[in-house]
A and B are shown apart, each in its own frame.
Chain A
Amino acid sequence: MVFNTGAALLDAIVLAVVSKEPEGTYGYKITQEVRQVIELSESTLYPVLRRLQKDECLEVYDMECAGRNRRYYKITSSGWAQLRLYESEWRQYSDKITGLFEGRI
């Protein structure tokens, strides 16, 4: 992959991954799913999740699983709004660049 993933795009990808699970999902699984789309190091995701949590795009709760508490991340309504914004921004951005490549612009 030659293209760099900036913070906003990374936020968008993480929000999209978390939004697929209505009941919430956990750090390890999110990492694995993000890694199917872009290359990123395993230590990159925690700050992103923490930031999204502080910005109230994600909420966390602990649930017992196999005798221990596991932290779950779930998208909030403002997270949904942010994700919608990112999606429309992405559509515009990628349309323009695709258009340029295909000679429409």
Chain B
Amino acid sequence: MNGGSILTRLQACLREGFEFMNRTEFMSQLEQLLRNITPAEREEALQYYNDYFDDAGTENEQEVIEALGNPARVAENIKRDLPGNTGENMPRRAQPSDRAVVEYGKTGTEERYFEQDTAPNTEKEREAGQNQVYSTPAPAKKGMPGWAIVLITIALIFASPVLLGLAIGLLGVLFGVLVTWFALIFAVVMVMLSMFIVLIVLCAVGVQCLVVDPLVGIALIGGGLICGGIGILFLMLAVAMAGIVTPAVFRGIWRLFRGKKKEATV
């Protein structure tokens, strides 16, 4: 196995871990979300999606999960049509609310105009992620009761000074760490420069002293060379800190944020 394939597999593992779930996780989440419908309906739906995964094949598993979106959305689509939500056994005609059932692919922007008033906007839903509470009234659905949302909102309002303080504090710490890091690099560069200056001065003086007192001259030149060596070590340290560690850390942070964003839109 060569390095390339190891890297690819590692990337795949990371992606799975960070952004996607597997079929088992998807199905168990879906089952959880369908707890409050009749067992017959639940079995029916679960069998359909199990079949779907089987027919798509294991190699397409990840694509299917991505295309299905989050389990909450799938569950909502299943529940929307159940008796109790709409009239049972009624011959169905197109109703405005039915549009929500049809969700278009990721390409279109136009249909948003049409869907805005009836269906929850695709993008908004995706941002909201899995703990999404749908606005469509549905009696048999799992979700936070109204009073819980009110309580949480009130708690957030009261906690906001603390939260704000915490956020500012965190920003301050981050800024402090950043400044300290760059000060450290600056200090290393300064030590390096002074070592080189000492090297030049000592060597110059030592060469002049060689004529008067060779032993003192040699000692001075030796001292200068030692300082030069230390200077070179600091030069290496400075290059490592500024040229290798700093970009790597920044790249890491950037990737972290980008990864998170990607996850939110998937």
A residues lining the B interface (CB < 8 Å) = 1-2, 4-11, 26-29, 31, 39-44, 46-51, 54-55, 68, 70-71
Query: Is B102 in contact with A10, judged by CB distance below 8 angstroms?
Result: yes
Interface string of B66-86 (1 = CB under 8 A from A): 011100011001101100000
27 contacts between A and B (CB under 8 A): A2-B111, A4-B115, A6-B102, A7-B95, A8-B92, A9-B94, A26-B51, A28-B55, A28-B56, A31-B52, A39-B104, A39-B108, A40-B102, A40-B103, A41-B103, A43-B73, A43-B74, A44-B101, A44-B103, A46-B78, A47-B77, A47-B78, A47-B81, A48-B101, A50-B45, A54-B89, A55-B92
Query: Is A70 in contact with B55, judged by CB distance below 8 angstroms?
Result: yes
Query: Is A55 in contact with B99, judged by CB distance below 8 angstroms?
Result: no
Q: How far is the CB of A24 from chain B (nearest CB, A)?
A: 13
Measured between beta carbons, the chain B residues less than 8 angstroms from A6 are: 94, 98-99, 102
Query: Is A11 in contact with B92, judged by CB distance below 8 angstroms?
Result: yes
Q: Which of B36-58 contact A (CB under 8 A)?
A: 44-45, 47-49, 51-52, 54-56
- Among A4, A5, A11, A71, residue most surrounded by chain B Cβ atoms (within 10 Å): A4
Indicate whether B250 reaches chain A with its CB closer than 8 angstroms.
no
Q: Which of A2, A41, A43, A55 contacts B91 (CB 8 A)?
A: A55
- Do A27 and B73 form a contact, CB below 8 Å, given A39-B107, A55-B89? no
Q: How far is the CB of B59 from chain A (nearest CB, A)?
A: 14
When C-beta atoms are compared, the residue in chain A nearest to B56 turns out to be A28
When C-beta atoms are compared, the residue in chain A nearest to B65 turns out to be A42
Measured between beta carbons, the chain B residues less than 8 angstroms from A48 are: 101
Q: Which of A2, A40, A51, A70 contacts B81 (CB 8 A)?
A: A51
B residues lining the A interface (CB < 8 Å) = 44-45, 47-49, 51-52, 54-56, 64, 67-69, 73-74, 77-78, 80-81, 88-89, 91-95, 98-99, 101-105, 107-108, 110-111, 114-115
Query: Is A42 in contact with B105, judged by CB distance below 8 angstroms?
Result: no
- Do A44 and B94 form a contact, CB below 8 Å, given A27-B51, A28-B55, A70-B51? no
Q: Which of B69, B101, B107, B111 contacts A47 (CB 8 A)?
A: B101
When C-beta atoms are compared, the residue in chain B nearest to A6 turns out to be B94
Measured between beta carbons, the chain B residues less than 8 angstroms from A47 are: 77-78, 80-81, 101
Measured between beta carbons, the chain A residues less than 8 angstroms from B94 are: 6-9
14 further A-B pairs in the complex, CB-CB below 8 A; given A27-B52, A70-B55, A71-B51: A5-B102, A6-B94, A6-B98, A7-B94, A8-B93, A26-B51, A39-B107, A39-B108, A41-B68, A41-B103, A42-B68, A48-B101, A50-B78, A51-B92
Q: Which of A1, A7, A39, A71 contacts B101 (CB 8 A)?
A: A7
Measured between beta carbons, the chain B residues less than 8 angstroms from A9 are: 94
Q: How far is the CB of A99 from chain B (nearest CB, A)?
A: 22
Cα A49 to Cα B49 with chains together (Å): 13
Cα A10 to Cα B81 with chains together (Å): 14
The 8 A-B pairs at the shortest CB distance, nearest first, are namely A28-B55, A7-B98, A6-B94, A39-B105, A41-B103, A47-B81, A43-B74, A8-B94
